[in-house]
Amino acid sequence: MVKHLIAPSLLAADFGNLERDIQMINNTEADWLHVDIMDGIFVPNISFGPEIVKVAKKYSKLPLDVHLMIEKPERYIETFRDAGADHISVHIEACPHLHRVIQQIKTTGAKAGVAVNPHTSIHQIEDIIEDVDIVVLMSVNPGFGGQKFIYNTINKIKALRELITTRNAHALIEVDGGVGQQNAESILQAGADVLVAGNSVFSAENPNLAVYALKNIGIRGFYA
């Protein structure tokens, strides 16, 4: 049985103790480390840039899943790849030439993802679905951690799962924002492959246990 994957989000870590927090994630059942890059333009918040990605690369045993919430991401693909990104996802809303950017990411050797805001319909990725390795479905409006899960995402996961199956595509469905023990089962049942978890892991009394609980929900296997 193929299990779903867990990607703790570094945005919720203690920035004064990044090495400690990354090592802590290394010792959990987490699969990827999710790294949120925000430019203060595409989203209202500014997080961090390639130098922090290098720090994450130095200490993380897990693949770095870099989520670019920036305008004109094509300017920085190679920079983030060189900094250590294993996966690079760009927003469809920031890319008028998405197909070109996806090819650009693949040329660097990274896995290529497209991220989709809550208001963007799944129909808009129909013509790119066969080209991407990951679809990041935003279940909050991007920009901040600790927000409430937008329930309509469940319908979008189902629609996307159907699209992927119909097209025989290989993209993984990653759900990002407001994910925790309270909704993980519904998200997985709807057809998600990867759960991003920021606050539900880093703010937990026992982050190790929080990852374990998310990882062992155990209903995967329907479409494995």
Residues with catalytic annotation?
36, 176
Residue 143 lies near ligand DX5 (rule: CB under 6 A): yes
Interface residue with ligand DX5 among 13, 21, 34, 117 (CB under 6 A) is 34
Q: Which is nearer to Zn ion, 214 or 222 (CB)?
A: 214
H or E stretch covering 197: strand 194-197
Which stretches of 171-219 are DSSP H helices?
184-190, 199-202, 207-215
Candidates 63, 29, 60; CA nearest to 210 is 29
Greatest CA span in the chain, whole angstroms? 46
Give residue 12's Cα distance to chain centre: 14
Residue 8 lies near ligand DX5 (rule: CB under 6 A): no
| Calpha distance 53→90 (Å, rounded) | 16
Q: Which of residues 56-115 bind ligand DX5 (CB under 6 A)?
A: 67
Residue 179 lies near ligand DX5 (rule: CB under 6 A): yes
CB 34 within 8 A of CB 145: no
Which range, of 23-31, 72-80, 142-150, 165-173, touches ligand DX5 by CB under 6 A?
142-150
Closest distance to ligand DX5 from the beta carbon of 195 (Å)? 9
Find which of ligand DX5, Zn ion, none residue 60 binds, CB within 5 to 8 Å per kind: none
Find which of ligand DX5, Zn ion, none residue 125 binds, CB within 5 to 8 Å per kind: none
| Calpha distance 37→221 (Å, rounded) | 32
Closest distance to ligand DX5 from the beta carbon of 83 (Å)? 18
| Calpha distance 36→115 (Å, rounded) | 12
Find which of ligand DX5, Zn ion, none residue 177 binds, CB within 5 to 8 Å per kind: ligand DX5
Please report, as ranges, the residues that interact with ligand DX5 according to CB under 6 A: 9, 11-12, 34, 36, 67, 140, 142-147, 176-179, 196-200
